[in-house]
A and B are shown apart, each in its own frame.
Chain A
Amino acid sequence: MNRIELKVNGKTVSGEVEGRTLLVDFLRQTLRLTGTHVGCDTSQCGACTIHMNGMPVKSCSVLAAEADGAEVTTIEGMANADGSLNTMQQAFQDFHGLQCGFCTPGMVMAATALLRENPKPSEGEIRHYLEGNICRCTGYHNIVKAIQAASGQDVTPVAAE
């Protein structure tokens, strides 16, 4: 067993983990932060995307022991201080960038990381950046629009195209 201590959504947490414990299992099962989802076992779908030390990572492909000392942000840590949806989350709602909601936490985390690197991405840049996040519901159309809107770019409103 390995003892780990890390910061999750600003709070210091610790626990005992097996060598094989995945970071996503530590988040979901030990910390009960079930907003981060698992959609595959080959590191392809991106539903488990979180931020670790400021970078987007797939928490199903990181050992919990590797996160010792890291700063982790999950979807539960994204809202504004008053609990309201932040700009990115709000844009996803405003532009109908989600349907079943399962890939959504990973999408929001990936999209947030994108805007940190590239504050005004083009449609092509957004689509390229989301390469590792699979959505089966939306066809990505409204996700792209939501991210453009969150970055302050003009976007045609929903259902008025």
Chain B
Amino acid sequence: MPKDGGIGASTKRREDVRFLSGTGQYTDDINLHGQAHAYFLRSDVAHGTINGIDTEAAEAMPGVLKVFTAKDFEGVGGVPCGWQVTDRFGEVMQEPKHPVLAEGRVRHVGDPIAVVVAETLAQARDAAEAIVPDISDLPAVVDLKAALEDGAQKVHEELKSNLCYDWGFVEDNRDAVDEAIRNAHHVTTLELRNNRLIANPMEPRVAVGDYNRANDEHTLYTTSQNPHVIRLLMGAFVLGIPEHKLRVVAPDVGGGFGAKIYHYAEEAFCTFAAKALGRPVKWTSSRSEAFMSDAHGRDHVTKIELALDKDNNFTALRTETYANMGAYLSTFAPSIPTWLHGTLMAGNYKTPLIYVNVKAVFTNTVPVDAYRGAGRPEATYQLERVVDQAARELGVSPIELRRQNFITEFPYATPVAVEYDTGDYHATMDKLLEMTDHAGFEARAAESKKNGKLRGFGLAHYIEACGIAPSNLVGQLGARAGLYESATVRVNATGSISVMTGSHSHGQGHETTFAQVISEMIGIDANQVDIIHGDTGRGPMGMGTYGSRSIAVGGSAMVRAAEKVINKAKKIAAHLMEASEGDIELKDGKFSVAGTDKEVAWGDVTLAAYVPHNYPLEDIEPGLEETAFYDPANFTYPSGAYGCEVEVDPETGKVEIVGFAAADDFGNVINPMIVEGQVHGGLAQGIGQALMENCAYDADGQLISASYMDYAMPRSSDLPMFKVDHSCVTPCTHNPLGVKGCGEAGAIGSPPAVVNAVLDALNRGGHKVAHIDMPTSPARVWAAMNKTPMAAE
């Protein structure tokens, strides 16, 4: 049994008390003295030329302090992109300017045209209606392939075309892959779309800018997953504010899922306007506004071909993907379809030859960036769909086809440039089949048939790359940032500890789990440890939380800092007990001398560090506080097997999930309760993508799923109880905790499992359907069964 409050214990979350009693502090709960309110007037057309903006009437409206337009931002940089991709021909990507407020053109519905700052939000909104923008419509670029045709309307006139980049990976493999596919015994081909999604954290984005004339300091309160990154991007690239004059605070944040990684124009605006007006300026997004201003996710169109030999061994894989970038490049957008997607195309299989081609395309839609999983769900979906389809075409078991091609020896260098350190894919597959009672499936299917339903089972195996990642490597790949993490472990005189971490918790429970690790290492009660995050004014430069990296990278940084603290404390303890440092042991919060009964309590050592009367001052400094920056040696590679059982109502096409099981290998686990919760949430989002969620634009670039009335969020009645397991453990070999990360797995492995199950149900029911694009909504399933047109989109 793990120690209560230590590593491996399902410790209850300490942060829950404030969330459950209504005393959490989210950004919108912050109201500064003298605060004014900003309202963004946004474009209602997808593409147009701004001939002029008449703000005179609005300026005269009650309560209005100022109306801002692009001309107020002439001396200010654009919102930067943090990743530069180099294309197949060695050229860097096309990178247009992303102004804070639209300059000369609007490029998507929701592009901000002007901002009113007024005494109240209602006044600001009233005044925004008095602004008269003169905009001439331009044709909207919406379809990815049409956008690349010769003579297509350009989203950015100054660029050569709508092609951001044409990326090949691994380019040197291209000819060999083509050759292998030409000569294959069998090739399975699928064309599929990874549907566009909206992250929809329940807390909409908020920014509050403040400026202190006395010391020339700016403060931005914002709903961010990585306040330090916002400080760097906004300070250095947009507003020209040095870090020591800019503090960014991300307090309690109500979910992120990727959408709160990026630096957004509204943050820069509020920071800028606070100084310009001498008043704090607050902006709170409405949900309707979030739909057209939060970065969207996914939106890939892919053709995938899998070649097999006569013994059903995978011999080559080739993909061609069109990835939607939207109208501007969001912070990490270029990296998602490339380095977070192409590198994962080997999946769990020893396919020797792989070539991935990605064309990233500008369109008149909201920018697209990482959403839970980011690139890896797209890779897993294609691969696990094509493997399933290959099994159907070849008449073999999809389980056996996977098993036969599994990677079994580690470390394993894939043909797409990454090296998996550990894993045991047969183990998770075995576990899954046990959890799903696979043996009993036929009997359940017969029962469903009696009730007029079609039952199907679908499975998917996934691999993901988490714990992003070695800075020198990502630098070579085009990242304009390092991807280490930092932590300061500050031991107070009485022995309590404050940990300042660069990771940010917005639902993950770091305040609890990080304290469990420290408690385990030092042997003091977890309640003696506070985890402080989300404030650039309190902790060292950090990179934040995304890519399932917090425990693997941020936790490792904390372990390294704690090790430094313990090493120093041992020196002090050795001095206090007049023993040799090498003989000092730390256990249960006590230092002892090996082989003796001498001991000194943690608190006595920490007190000595700060009241250094009896202290080796000639050897070490007083105080007990250490900082570490941890830069991982490799990604981590969680993997798992997911199984879904569905019932399809053949009369309506409605799919019901009747069972879902997930067998994951996350390496070591700090808090099983929280890990399971993370998987549940990921599954809900992945099932949501597979069954319900769809961000749709019409041909004019109007967003037609623009609220919860049309964007289907999974509700409680749409989901089953989940079976989850993380007992298959192959610890990560290169971080001190042996952890891999668990935040995104659920959203990565589940979509193909659901779609495979739906197709299994239909095919068992006699409907020869090779593929249905997500979401497999009732209308689409019914249409596929009846071969009639899909819903109008």
Contacts and interface: CB of A to CB of B under 8 A. Distances in A.
- Indicate whether A and B are direct neighbours in the complex (CB within 8 Å): yes
Given A44-B708, A136-B255, A144-B721, A126 B677 contact: no
Given A75-B21, A140-B719, A161 B287 contact: no
B202 A103 contact: yes
A94 B716 contact: no
Interface string A119-130: 000010011101
B4 interface: no
Interface in B238-258: 252-255, 257
B93 to A, nearest CB: 32
A42 B22 contact: no
Contacts of A94: 12
Contacts of B734: none
Contacts of B683: 139
A101 B680 contact: no
Given A42-B287, A131-B716, A138 B21 contact: no
Interface stretch (A30-38, A51-59, A61-69): A30-38
A29 B707 CA distance: 25
Contacts of A75: 20-22
Interface residues on A, range: 35 or more
B393 interface: no
A96 interface: yes
Interface in B1-51: 10, 12-13, 15-26, 28-29, 31
Nearest to A43: B708
A160 to B, nearest CB: 8
A123 B721 contact: yes
Interface stretch (B76-84, B212-220, B503-511, B621-629): B503-511
A98 B12 CA distance: 11
Contacts of B17: 85, 93
B681 A41 contact: no
B103 interface: no
Interface stretch (B358-366, B442-450, B481-489, B668-676): B668-676
B186 interface: no
B673 A139 contact: no
Nearest to A88: B20
A105 B203 CA distance: 13
A31 B674 CA distance: 34
A41 B13 contact: no
A144 to B, nearest CB: 7
A77 B683 CA distance: 33
Contacts of B254: 37, 100-103
A40 interface: yes
Contact of B507 (A93, A101, A127): A101
Interface in B699-717: 707-709, 713-717
B302 interface: no
A47 interface: yes
A139 B676 contact: no
Contact of B255 (A96, A100, A127): A100
Given A100-B255, A127-B716, A45 B287 contact: yes
B497 interface: no
Q: Which 10 residue pairs of A and B lie closest in terms of their CB atoms, listed nearest first?
A: A35-B22, A101-B19, A102-B254, A139-B684, A100-B507, A99-B507, A159-B672, A139-B680, A75-B22, A44-B708
Given A78-B21, A104-B19, A141-B719, 7 more contacts: A89-B21, A99-B509, A100-B19, A127-B717, A134-B715, A135-B202, A137-B677
Interface of B: 10, 12-13, 15-26, 28-29, 31, 122, 200-204, 252-255, 257, 286-288, 506-509, 672-678, 680-685, 707-709, 713-717, 719, 721-724, 746
22 contacts: A34-B22, A34-B28, A39-B204, A40-B287, A44-B708, A89-B20, A94-B12, A96-B13, A96-B674, A98-B19, A100-B202, A102-B203, A102-B255, A130-B715, A134-B713, A136-B713, A137-B202, A137-B255, A140-B680, A140-B715, A140-B716, A159-B675
